[in-house]
Amino acid sequence: MTGLMKNKEEPAWVTGCDYLPGIRRVACCTERSIAIWDNRAKGKSQHIFIIKPIEHSPQCMTYVPSPQGSHEDVVLFGDDQGYVNVLAISAKDLNMKNSKGEKRNSQNVTIEPSKLSNPIVRRKIHGDWVLKVKYFPDLRCFASCSPSSQQSFVLEEPERLHDNGEVRGVSIPKGVNCFDYCARANIIATGGVDKIIRVWHPHIFSRPTGMRIVLNLNNRP
């Protein structure tokens, strides 16, 4: 979902969003912050918690289920410098005591990342900005893609964002702009500027299991 978040203090494009079931709030990433919104609240009790400053510009996000019994929600967000970031947030983080510099009666509450219970974890995955990140519960992995010809598509467990080991990925000329996974067929499809749809087995990245060139129908005689 992409749109324009409008408020008189900081209008910004929304570049991605997801729902956090643990704290029952909507998380959005904008071009310069992460916003947490309680969509159930009404009137003056409706506050939007703005986590900023974020080191780089967030471009996309996805929710990752937390272990049973955990009191935190985890989101991954990709940024314009090729990093995939881990943000773990709990209800206690959304506290007015953690805010600063807000105008009286403002519905927007700013929280510095340093005030969160858990620091944001960042790992450089791609050589260019992250176009899309998505978590696949059936694989227990996240996937991310980039227009970079190096590490164009990555499929890995979220825990690997906390270390420096090699990640599973493929390099494709002109990068990957989009992807999706079919659990029934157990295949991943990727597409990019080269107009080739590639099909991959989730555990075999040495070569695609199928390829299809997408023809430009507008140029037909």
pTM, full prediction: 0.85
Residue, of 106 and 192, whose pLDDT is higher = 192
Residue 65: is the preceding peptide bond cis (ω within 30°)?
A: no
Within 10 A of 116 (CB to CB), how many other CB atoms are there?
18
What are the residues whose beta carbons fall under 8 Å from the beta carbon of 193, sequence distance 6 or more?
Answer: 147, 174, 175, 177
Can you tell me the mean pLDDT for 119-127?
A: 96
Over residues 170-194, the pLDDT tens digits come to 999 999 999 999 999 999 999 999 9
